[in-house]
Amino acid sequence: MEALVVALLFALLIRTFIVQPFKIPSESMCNTLLVGDHLLATKFDYGLRIPFTDIAVFDGEQPQRGDVIIFKYPKDPDVDFIKRIIGIPGDVIEVRNKQVYRNGEALKEDYVRIDEPNRILPGRDIFGPVTVPEGMYFVMGDNRDNSMDSRFWGYVPRKDIIAKARRIYWSWQGLTDIRWSRIGQAIN
């Protein structure tokens, strides 16, 4: 019984402070992350907080442009979202005809998926310019035509960032279709 309690406490500590598994439920990060990908995300990169509080034990590094992060969805903090950081505090973000500009320069984003190249929608494909406020981050899904992100609901507060996505540990598309080539892949 003692060994079981120690093992459970150890597992709880690892999940709370070090690494946590997440499952991808939607297509918003395709093709970087696919529906059915299971990934590990490190919680200590951006600091550690005492569970169920916003009290920081240490701050860690600041989130960077290009990081794929897990965060509390601003419209419902009980739901975790995963997106890529496009803008950090002070950046000016604009989208013109599906092309993202940061501080006036067009981004080169090899990971982006565009499903509707000839369909331009205001708010999705034409957006901004906006300046990212202090303590906030502008995030977008890699599947730009199929992502609810900062273009629709605003910024992600620094305090709501939970973890940095690191590696796919399992991937499948149904019970019989395991995507072996994705297992172990780093997320960038």
* Active-site residue list: 28, 83
Long-range contacts of 181-184 (CB under 8 A, 24+ apart): 182/34, 182/37
Tell the residue number behind the tokens 């002070």, with chain if given. Answer: 90
- Between vectors from CA 101 to CA 75 and to CA 161, what angle results, nearest 5°? 35
The residue among 165, 168, 187, 171 whose CA lies nearest residue 71 is 165
Q: What is the DSSP string of 81-112?
A: EEEEEEE-TT-EEEEETTEEEETTEE---TT-
166, 187 contact by CB (below 8 A): yes
Q: Residue count of the chain, please give it.
A: 188
**Quick one: tokens of 10?**
């150890």
